[in-house]
Structures are given as C-alpha cells and as structure tokens.
C-alpha cells in the first residue's frame, strides 16, 4: 500500500551508509520517502547523507541532506531546526545511529565504553530532547528507535557495552512512550537480528576467518536460514510510523527471522 505516510515529515538520524549498499538508516529514509513522507537525511558525514538524498530525489520524492553529530546537543538541535525550516514540522523521528565496540568489561577500554554510551543511548536522549517539544506542540508524532536483538539476548559476540546500551535504548523508548502517551506521541523500537548491511563488514567481520564465513555463520543462526536485509527493518519502521500502528506504543519489536524465539543455535 503506497502513500501510508503522505503528508508526514520524517527526520532520520544515521541516514547514510558505511559502505556500498543499504544500511538500516538509508533504507528507512528511502521507504519513508516512497510512502509519501518528506525526509531529512541526517548523518555525521554530509556526503553519506547526500547520497541517500540523491537516491530519494532520483525517484521523484522530497528530501534534504544535513550533517550532524549526535554526540553534541547543539549539532542535533541545529539539524532539527534545518528540518523544521524546510518542512514546517516533524512527524517522525527515526534514530538509527549505533556502534559496536568488541570486548567484555575487562578488555574494553573506558574510552570505548564511554563512546558507546555517547553514541548508542546518548543519540536517543539528544534527538528526543530536540524533537519532543515540536511533537508535543503538534499533539502528534511517532518515534522509532533502532535497538538490537542484543538488547535482550546474547548474540554470540563479546560486546558488553553494546548489549548494555541497546537494553537502555529499549527501556528509554518505553519511558518516552509512557510519559507522552496522553500527548499524542507514540514511541516504539525495532530490534534487528542478523541483518546483512555494510556495517557488519566493518564492525563484525573481524570475529570470523573471512567475510564469507561471517555470512554463513550468521545465516545458520537464524531459524529461517538466512540473514535479513535493511529493507526488512525499514518496512517495519514504516508500519510503526504510520497510522496503521496508531494503537501501538512502547513496543520493542524483534525483526529477526525468529531468532529471539529460538532456545538453541540453528545449523
């Protein structure tokens, strides 16, 4: 069904991709635009944001590209102002920024742990701080935070900080949803499982003998027998952002091919 977000204005933090192909944020920005939303594509790297913007424009949809650092409140607020100036308001806030730092509490440096806090949960705090007053004034809005299956399950990787921060993303989403439930604002998060995006080749592949081994191992761990892709996450985000989900708030939705339901490893 096309046009589910007609007239909506979306702001996507982390709309660029870390390599060729589609990451979760890039795919979400594309799907929001295809469903009729005006989209502000925001990324730390302006070229990455602009690439997504250009792809949207090539399909005849409305978007802008903005550079912002989600670890700095002033940068986030400036990006939000640019989006409001361009579109007149914000109906959808999509948070896709995240990073993995390998290591348990012993191996992980304090610097890397703090970086995980600043980026993975700090981005949710800063963007909500900037956007919630706008949505509250409109008496309407939908927030989609991208969490991870790691928020609720051991996924096989030794990344202590990532587990902790994604669990925080889940509960912060619930907190926002409950605080703002009577103000016309919904908040939900998506927990991707094993998703084939450019990011895993940069941040995860070092745990395996080769990229091919990584893809095979990750696919084996999923009950349906394969990894998902960024558009599986994007389509879930479109649903949660749309009026079809108007009675859904505070939900942490696994999009994982059944992995969160599995008791043991699949092969």
Residues 6+ positions from 209 with CB-CB distance below 8 Å: none
Q: 22, 32, 162, 180: which one is catalytic?
A: 162
Give which of 242, 236, 231 is closest to 255, Cα–Cα.
236
Q: Which two tokens stand for residue 62?
A: 């409305």
How far is residue 24's CA from residue 20's CA, in Å, rounded to a whole number?
13
**38-43 sheet: strands from edge to edge:** 63-67, 38-43, 9-13, 92-95, 141-146, 185-192, 252-255
What is the C-alpha separation between 168 and 42, in angstroms, rounded? 23
* DSSP helix/strand/coil, 230: helix
φ, ψ of residue 120 in degrees (nearest 5): -75, -45
Distances (CA, A) of 186 to 54, 135, 138, 195: 30, 10, 13, 25
φ/ψ bin of 84: left (φ > 0), alpha (ψ from -120 to 50), beta (otherwise): alpha
- Output the six-digit token pair for 201: 């080749």
Determine the length of the chain.
Answer: 267
Query: CA 226 to CA 218: how far, in whole Å?
Result: 8
Ramachandran angles phi, psi of 93, nearest 5°: -110, 120
Tokens 């594309």 identify what position? 30
Q: Is 163 a catalytic residue?
A: no
Facing residues of 63 across strands?
A: 39
Active-site residues: which are they?
162
């Amino acid at each position: 069904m096309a046009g589910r977000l007609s007239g909506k204005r979306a702001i996507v933090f982390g709309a660029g991709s870390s390599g060729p192909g589609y990451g979760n944020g890039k795919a979400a920005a594309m799907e929001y635009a295809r469903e009729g939303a005006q989209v502000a594509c925001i990324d730390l790297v302006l070229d990455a944001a602009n690439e997504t913007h250009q792809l949207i424009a090539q399909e005849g949809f409305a978007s802008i590209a903005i550079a912002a650092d989600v670890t700095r409140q002033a940068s986030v607020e400036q990006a939000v102002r640019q989006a409001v100036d361009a579109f007149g308001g914000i109906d959808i806030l999509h948070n896709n920024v995240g990073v993995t730092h390998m290591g348990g509490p012993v191996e992980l440096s304090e610097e890397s742990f703090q970086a995980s806090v600043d980026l993975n949960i700090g981005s949710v705090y800063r963007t909500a701080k900037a956007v919630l007053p706008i949505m509250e004034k409109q008496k309407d809005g939908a927030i989609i935070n991208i969490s991870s299956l790691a928020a609720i399950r051991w996924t096989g990787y030794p990344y202590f900080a990532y587990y902790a921060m994604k669990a925080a993303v889940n509960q912060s989403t619930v907190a926002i949803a409950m605080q703002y439930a009577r103000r016309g604002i919904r908040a939900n998060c998506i927990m991707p499982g094993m998703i084939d995006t450019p990011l895993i080749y940069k941040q995860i592949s070092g745990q395996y003998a080769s990229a091919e081994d990584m893809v095979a191992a990750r696919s084996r761990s999923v009950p349906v027998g394969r990894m998902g892709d960024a558009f599986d996450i994007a389509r879930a985000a479109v649903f949660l952002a749309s009026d079809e989900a108007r009675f859904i708030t505070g939900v942490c939705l696994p999009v994982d091919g059944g992995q969160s339901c599995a008791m043991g490893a699949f092969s």
